[in-house]
Structure 1
Amino acid sequence: MLSSKGLLTTMSSIKTTTNVNDISPDLLSSLEAIKTGTIIILFILIASINLAMGCTLKFNDFKQQWQSPGGIILSIISQFVTYPLVGFIFNYLMNVQSSYAVGVILVVASPGSSLSSLFTYLVDGDICMSVCSTALSMVISLGMLPALMFIYGSSWTSETAVIPYTMIAITCAVLIGQVLLGMVIRTWAPKIAVYIVTIGTTVGLVGYSIFALFYIVMQTSLIHSPWSVYFMVLILPIAGFTIGYATGYIFKQQPRRCRTIALETVFENIGIAMLILVGTYTKFDWITCSVFPILYIGMTVIYGLVYMMVFRAIQKRAAKNEGYASLEAEDDFENPWLLVETDLSFRY
């Protein structure tokens, strides 16, 4: 197993490598160890989140989504149509260098991740809609990812993206399986489900935060990145969230669904993006290409935490002043992350 010193040495050694095939066998071995460790950690975090989200749902929730699919459709449109176009425009306006621009397009073209469901839960959004949107985005990405990379990525590279179809299919299957397991647990052992939700959301939130921080520290190319990359990392998630929320608002979705659409738009599957990056773009400095995806996941987690704290503060103040009842009074699941018993999310 690599020590922290070994990790730093590995990342520093490949800093100037421009082709995966030029890396020495020893470095490839170290990278393989990092890759294996990353997959294991991500699987634990994703499993924790998906199982926890499943424990908050009932089978009837999916029936309601089927009867009112507008929110899911808007999420997919915002994620695969609007957001990639925004990323493409920002690349041109900021005159981002090719290797960094490829990383930007990879991020905005990727399917959703379990983080969107986690933060949807933390701000009392529509969890079932989020889970459905994430799963559907993975299926749609099998066709949309190569199409978007051809449409938008061809401005910076002539290489054809190698899509990890097997990994996407496995991720989707695992997501569905874990959510179903969580729903079964809630049905037969509701008290245990509450503990699973509390533990799963905590592990997912803390784990992803540490994971993002670790890779930011390990990314030795950060200090050499131009200011435009940092600006993109700061502004692109805000633009995506605003566009997602506005999309829901324009089509008269409830505010809790608007929040869900916004979060689905912004929280992308960075793991899929990184697999495509390493497997495809050998002509670029692939370490440089990974700068934006790594910074992006860290920034979206930070924004998500800030949004959660603002939402909780607004909710607590409104509860003291007005005390509105929940629109979902039939849902008997207690959200242990909420500060008040009444659900005021429909107001915000």
Structure 2
Amino acid sequence: MQAIARLSRFVGNTFAIWVLLFAILAFFAPEQFTWIVPYIVPLLGIIMFGMGLTLSKKDFSEVFKRPVTVLIGVLGQFIIMPSLAWILCQALNLPPEIAVGVILVGCCPGGTASNVMTFLARGDVALSVAITSVTTLLAPVVTPALIYLLASQWLEVSAAAMFWSIVQVVILPIVLGLIAQALLRDKVEGCVNALPLVSVVAIVAIVAAVVAANQARIATTGLLIFAVVVLHNGLGLLLGYWLAKLAGLGVAQRKTLSIEVGMQNSGLGAALATAHFSPLAAVPSAIFSVWHNISGPIIATLFQRFKNDDKDVAPTSPGTAATE
């Protein structure tokens, strides 16, 4: 079991390399990866089940200790990224399927990779976990509503169908994970160390499947989508930091909100796009998954240079987070 734990840590620490490598392989040999496409939704369910296995009452305690700070983070997540996505789509006059894909990933909740990046940045990990947990639980209602509001001008959006999809692939697996944790605590604790490995394999498979299914279109539109994703992610990181600064939060919390706002649950975006729109609409999520796992470590390294102040909470370990 120790060998699996070491392998899991290694794979988790080098996640960006694996997702980039397999995205390239899927682009040049798409026939080797298209078989994964029907399994995108179940793979995301596995990731969410792993999140349920690691959640605890402590993760939600910050909501009651610092409700205003958590609320600022949640509002930042669900206002800044969707708004940026809509503005970029309008400004660049993106084709409908790509525009919907960009808005979709912008409307998703934060990904648990943000918890790890916050830890590396010496931010407020407890706050990061609380914001990720709350936005994830709110996603079945908020994400479809935002997508309906912002993307309906491009393609028909069924908010009800999307709500049910998120319940199935996010909420239900998390609840099952919590139940498994409660009933099989000792056995679950032994498996938790392997979760980064499982999560990395799942998200790499999702990215590879999306890239393979859209190889021809990526060849013609990939640079445009990549530019939009980089702008979306970069502006999200910047505005998240400014929001926290305007709210008078400490340096550690500014780092945390920057990362929470800028990093999305791109796996959910890819699954929803594939299920409700088209494979092309999933490409922004796939590219976002590649890019934010490159920009995340970069911004975390930069934030390490920002000295925390007296308002800050000492960083604690994020535990075993699924990587999205």
Match of 2:171 in 1: 172
Q: Distance in 1 between matches of 2:303 and 2:192?
A: 20
Q: Distance in 1 between matches of 2:120 and 2:50?
A: 15
Match of 2:11 in 1: none
The 5-angstrom pairing of residues 270-289 of structure 1 reads 270-281=266-277, 286-289=278-281
Match of 1:80 in 2: 78
User: What letter corresponds to residue 297 of structure 1 in structure 2?
Assistant: S
Q: Distance in 2 between matches of 1:240 and 1:223?
A: 26
Secondary structure, counterpart of 1:77 in structure 2: helix
User: What letter corresponds to residue 258 of structure 1 in structure 2?
Assistant: R
Distance 1:297 1:71, change over 3 A: same
Cα distance, 1:226 vs structure 2: 6.1
Residue 37 of structure 2 is aligned to residue 34 of structure 1: yes
The 5-angstrom pairing of residues 11-30 of structure 1 reads 11=34, 30=35
User: What letter corresponds to residue 328 of structure 1 in structure 2?
Assistant: A
TM-score by length of structure 2 reads: 0.71
Secondary structure, counterpart of 1:268 in structure 2: coil
Q: Distance in 2 between matches of 1:240 and 1:307?
A: 12
User: Which stretch has the larger CA shift, 253-262 or 297-306?
Assistant: 253-262
Secondary structure, counterpart of 1:290 in structure 2: helix
Cα distance, 1:235 vs structure 2: 1.1
Q: Is the 8 A contact 1:241 1:262 kept in 2?
A: yes
Match of 2:296 in 1: 304
Q: Is the 8 A contact 1:161 1:280 kept in 2?
A: no
Distance 1:175 1:253, change over 3 A: farther
Q: Distance in 1 between matches of 2:96 and 2:152?
A: 10
Please give the per-residue CA displacement for 1:64-84, whole angstroms capped at 9, x wherever unaligned: 441211221112211212221
Cα distance, 1:154 vs structure 2: 2.2
Q: Is the 8 A contact 1:164 1:272 kept in 2?
A: no
Cα distance, 1:6 vs structure 2: 8.9
User: What letter corresponds to residue 154 of structure 2 in structure 1?
Assistant: W
Match of 1:132 in 2: 130
Q: Distance in 2 between matches of 1:258 and 1:183?
A: 34
Cα distance, 1:246 vs structure 2: 1.0
Match of 1:71 in 2: 69
Please give the per-residue CA displacement for 1:162-215, whole angstroms capped at 9, x wherever unaligned: 5443453352354467579889999x9xxx97x988765576568756764675
Cα distance, 1:123 vs structure 2: 2.5
Distance 1:176 1:135, change over 3 A: farther
Distance 1:106 1:211, change over 3 A: closer
Cα distance, 1:124 vs structure 2: 3.3
Cα distance, 1:99 vs structure 2: 1.5
Instruction: Give the RMSD, CA atoms, in angstroms.
Output: 4.1
Q: Distance in 2 between matches of 1:50 and 1:79?
A: 21
The 5-angstrom pairing of residues 257-336 of structure 1 reads 257-281=253-277, 286-312=278-304, 314=305, 327-328=313-314
Secondary structure, counterpart of 2:268 in structure 1: helix
User: Which stretch has the larger CA shift, 290-299 or 205-214?
Assistant: 205-214
> Any stretches of 5+ residues in structure 2 without a counterpart?
1-25
Q: Distance in 2 between matches of 1:182 and 1:264?
A: 26
Q: Distance in 2 between matches of 1:229 and 1:60?
A: 39
Q: Is the 8 A contact 1:50 1:114 kept in 2?
A: no
Distance 1:290 1:246, change over 3 A: same
Distance 1:206 1:261, change over 3 A: farther
Distance 1:158 1:180, change over 3 A: closer
Q: Is the 8 A contact 1:96 1:229 kept in 2?
A: no
Q: Is the 8 A contact 1:120 1:130 kept in 2?
A: yes
Please give the per-residue CA displacement for 1:142-167, whole angstroms capped at 9, x wherever unaligned: 33223222321122124434544345
Q: Distance in 1 between matches of 2:45 and 2:272?
A: 18
The 5-angstrom pairing of residues 105-116 of structure 1 reads 105-116=103-114
> Any stretches of 5+ residues in structure 1 without a counterpart?
12-29, 337-348
Match of 1:142 in 2: 140
**Bigger RCO (CA 8 Å, 6+ sep):** 2
Q: Which protein is bigger by CA-based radius of gyration?
A: 1
Match of 1:20 in 2: none
Q: Distance in 2 between matches of 1:91 and 1:256?
A: 32
Residue 6 of structure 2 is aligned to residue 8 of structure 1: no
Q: Distance in 1 between matches of 2:249 and 2:78?
A: 19
The 5-angstrom pairing of residues 189-208 of structure 1 reads 200=195, 204=199, 208=203
User: Percent identity at matched positions?
Assistant: 18
Q: Is the 8 A contact 2:98 2:284 kept in 1?
A: yes
Q: Distance in 1 between matches of 2:47 and 2:29?
A: 24
Q: Distance in 1 between matches of 2:171 and 2:270?
A: 17
